C-alpha cells in the first residue's frame, strides 16, 4: 500500500508519495490551492494507487492548535467526503524548516525553491510518519479462548451483535462470509441464533473459481452448514459465480454489489461485518502475497491468479475490506501460532503478510483465537 502526503498551504499544496513497501517518501507535485483542489487530489489518489492519505497538521511549537491546524482539519473533513481511503492527520511542525534546509544548497532560484518546498515538506513529514509506523504496529483486539469451539461461539455472539445493531440503525445488514474449517463451526453455531434473517444480505469475502456445489466452494460450505437452515430470502444471497471465467466472475460480482447496495459511481461499499480468517502465510480473504490484488485500489472485486493455490480465486479488495464497520477474524489451531506472532511484530509488511494491507482498519478488527493459536498472546477480552 502507498501513502499520499498532503502539505496544505494557503496558496500552494505539496504532495508526496511513498513506495509500496512504505519505506521511503518522495516529493510528487505542487498544486495550486483553490477550487478544484479536492477533485485534483482525488484523481491523484486514484492514479498513484494510494491506499491511505496523511495530511500535515501544523501545530504551534507548544503543541497547541491555531488557525492553520484548524484549516487542515477542515480540509481533511472535506476530503473524507470525496474519497474512501483512510485519512490521518500527522504533526508537521518542523517539515517546512527541514525542506528549506534541504533546498538551501541547490542552484534553484528563490521562486523555484518556493515551488518545490511544499512537495519536499510533504515528503519530510511523510518519511517521519513512515518511521513512526515501523516502530510500532497497533494491534487488533484479541479475544483468546481455551478451545476452537469457544472461540467460534464468542465470534457468533459478536457477529449477532453487529447484525442486530445494523438492522436497528439502518434497517438492513450487509455481511460477508469466508470459507474454511473455523467458519464451518461458526456457521453450525450461528444456525441456532434468533436473528431477523429477512433483513440480512450475504456476500462472500472471497471464493474459489469452482461450481456452487463443489466441495471447495465457500458458498457451498455456507449453504450446507447455514443458509439451508435459516429463512434468508434467496435474493439476499449474493454468491460469486465461480463457474464463470475469473475476470467475468469478478466483474459480475462487483456489479451485483453495486446494484444491491445502490452505490454511486466511484463509491465503495460499506459492509457491516466481514468474517475472515488468517492463512499460515499471512493472507486473508484471497489477498495473496506475490499477487497484484494486494495493491488493487480500483476494483471492488478482483480475480486472483496464484501458482501457490490450487484454484484461481475472486476476492474483495483491500479498500472494500478496510471500509467495513467490523472485521471479525477466527484464528484457531497450532499451525497459526507462528503467523499470529509474526503479524503483530513491526513493521507492517503487506507485500509479505497481506493481512497488513487491512491495518488501516485495525481499530475495527476483533480476532477470536483459541489457546493453540494464541500461544503466549494474552486475551483482551
- DSSP string for residues in 205-230: SEEESS-TTSTT-HHHHHHHHTGGGS
What is the tens place of the pLDDT at every residue in 268-321? 999 999 999 999 999 999 999 989 999 999 999 999 998 878 899 999 999 999
Give yes or no: residues 93 and 215 share one domain: no
Averaged pLDDT for residues 204-225: 97
CA distance 134 to 332: 27
Does residue 105 surpass a pLDDT of 70?
no
pLDDT at 104: 43
114: left (phi over 0), alpha (psi -120 to 50) or beta: alpha
**Contact (CB, 8 A) for 313 and 341:** no
Give yes or no: residues 18 and 162 share one domain: no
**Contact (CB, 8 A) for 277 and 331:** yes
pLDDT at 14: 92
Does residue 252 surpass a pLDDT of 50?
yes
Query: Is residue 365 one of the residues assigned to a domain?
Result: yes
Task: Work out the pLDDT band at 237, boundaries 50, 70, 90.
Answer: very high
Task: Work out the pLDDT band at 114, boundaries 50, 70, 90.
Answer: low
Position of cell 501457490? 308
User: Looking at per-residue confidence, does 301 or 116 come out higher?
Assistant: 301
Give yes or no: residues 246 and 190 share one domain: yes
DSSP secondary structure letter of residue 94: T
Sheet containing 173-177: give its strands across: 141-145, 365-370, 327-331, 273-276, 173-177, 200-204
Q: How many CA atoms lie within 13 A of 135 on its CB side?
A: 6
State which of 135, 165, 186 marks the end of a domain.
Answer: 135
Q: What are the helix and strand counts (H, E) for the chain?
A: 11, 14
Give yes or no: residues 93 and 147 share one domain: no
Of 211-220, 221-230, 304-313, 325-334, which gets the smallest average pLDDT? Answer: 304-313
Query: For the chain, how are helix, strand and coil distributed in percent, rounded to 5?
Result: 45, 20, 35
CA distance 261 to 269: 7
pLDDT at 111: 52
Alpha-helix runs per DSSP H in 140-294: 148-170, 181-190, 218-225, 246-260
Query: Is residue 379 one of the residues assigned to a domain?
Result: no
Averaged pLDDT for residues 334-349: 89
266: left (phi over 0), alpha (psi -120 to 50) or beta: left
Query: Is residue 45 one of the residues assigned to a domain?
Result: yes
Query: Is residue 380 one of the residues assigned to a domain?
Result: no
Query: Is residue 335 one of the residues assigned to a domain?
Result: yes
State which of 85, 117, 135 marks the end of a domain.
Answer: 135
Give yes or no: residues 20 and 163 share one domain: no
Does residue 15 surpass a pLDDT of 60?
yes
Give yes or no: residues 172 and 96 share one domain: no
CA distance 30 to 132: 25
**Contact (CB, 8 A) for 69 and 21:** no
Give yes or no: residues 195 and 80 share one domain: no
Query: Is residue 246 one of the residues assigned to a domain?
Result: yes
Query: Is residue 261 one of the residues assigned to a domain?
Result: yes
- Counted domains in the chain: 2
pLDDT at 270: 96
Query: Is residue 381 one of the residues assigned to a domain?
Result: no
pLDDT at 115: 60
Give yes or no: residues 82 and 24 share one domain: yes
Give yes or no: residues 99 and 181 share one domain: no
Give yes or no: residues 308 and 249 share one domain: yes
Instruction: List the domain range (segments joined by +) for residue 345.
Output: 141-374
Which CATH number characterizes residue 27's domain?
3.30.420.140
Q: Which residues pair with 90 in a beta bridge?
A: 56
Task: Work out the pLDDT band at 145, boundaries 50, 70, 90.
Answer: very high
- The cell for 38 is 479536492
Give yes or no: residues 89 and 147 share one domain: no
Which CATH number characterizes residue 342's domain?
3.40.50.1360
What is the tens place of the pLDDT at every residue in 74-103? 999 899 888 878 888 888 765 444 434 443
Mean pLDDT computed over every residue of the chain = 89
Give yes or no: residues 126 and 236 share one domain: no
Averaged pLDDT for residues 337-364: 91
H/E segment holding residue 321: helix 318-323
Does residue 253 surpass a pLDDT of 80?
yes
Our CA dihedral for 228, 234, 249, 163, rounded to 10 degrees, sits at -80
State which of 104, 135, 166 marks the end of a domain.
Answer: 135
Amino acid at each position: 500500500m502507498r501513502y499520499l502526503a498532503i502539505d496544505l498551504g494557503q496558496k500552494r499544496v505539496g504532495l508526496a508519495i511513498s513506495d509500496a513497501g512504505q519505506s521511503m517518501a518522495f516529493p510528487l507535485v505542487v498544486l495550486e490551492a483553490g477550487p478544484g483542489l479536492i477533485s485534483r487530489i482525488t484523481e491523484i489518489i486514484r492514479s498513484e494507487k494510494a491506499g491511505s492519505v496523511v495530511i500535515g497538521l501544523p501545530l504551534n511549537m507548544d503543541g497547541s492548535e491555531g488557525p492553520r491546524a484548524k484549516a487542515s482539519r477542515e480540509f481533511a473533513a472535506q476530503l473524507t467526503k470525496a474519497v474512501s481511503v483512510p485519512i490521518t492527520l500527522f504533526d508537521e511542525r518542523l517539515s517546512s524548516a527541514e525542506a528549506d534546509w534541504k533546498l538551501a544548497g541547490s542552484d534553484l532560484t528563490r521562486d523555484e525553491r518556493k515551488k518545490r518546498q511544499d512537495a519536499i515538506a510533504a515528503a519530510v513529514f511523510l518519511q517521519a510518519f513512515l518511521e513512526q509506523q515501523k516502530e510500532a504496529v497497533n494491534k487488533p483486539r484479541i479475544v483468546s479462548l481455551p478451545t476452537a469451539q469457544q472461540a467460534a461461539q464468542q465470534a457468533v455472539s459478536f457477529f449477532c451483535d453487529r447484525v442486530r445493531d445494523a438492522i436497528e440503525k439502518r434497517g438492513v445488514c450487509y455481511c460477508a462470509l469466508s470459507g474454511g474449517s473455523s467458519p464451518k463451526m461458526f456457521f453450525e453455531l450461528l444456525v441456532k441464533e434468533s436473528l431477523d434473517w429477512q433483513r440480512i444480505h450475504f456476500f462472500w469475502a472471497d471464493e474459489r473459481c469452482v461450481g456452487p456445489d463443489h466441495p471447495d466452494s465457500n458458498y457451498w460450505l455456507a449453504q450446507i452448514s447455514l443458509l439451508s437452515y435459516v429463512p434468508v430470502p434467496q435474493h439476499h444471497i449474493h454468491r460469486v459465480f465461480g463457474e464463470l471465467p475469473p475476470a467475468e466472475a469478478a466483474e459480475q460480482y462487483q456489479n451485483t454489489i453495486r446494484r444491491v447496495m445502490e452505490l454511486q459511481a466511484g463509491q465503495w461499499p460499506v459492509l457491516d461485518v466481514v468474517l475472515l480468517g488468517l492463512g499460515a502465510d499471512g493472507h486473508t480473504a484471497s489477498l495473496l502475497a506475490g499477487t497484484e490484488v494486494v495493491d488493487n485500489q480500483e476494483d471492488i472485486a478482483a480475480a486472483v491468479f496464484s501458482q501457490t493455490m490450487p484454484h484461481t480465486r475472486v476476492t474483495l479488495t483491500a479498500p472494500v475490506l478496510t471500509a467495513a464497520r467490523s472485521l471479525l477474524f477466527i484464528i484457531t489451531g497450532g499451525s497459526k501460532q507462528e503467523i499470529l506472532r509474526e503479524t503483530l511484530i513491526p513493521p507492517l509488511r503487506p507485500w509479505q503478510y497481506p493481512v497488513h494491507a487491512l491495518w488501516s482498519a485495525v481499530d475495527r478488527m476483533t480476532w477470536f483465537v483459541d489457546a493453540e493459536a494464541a500461544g503466549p498472546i494474552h486475551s483482551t477480552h
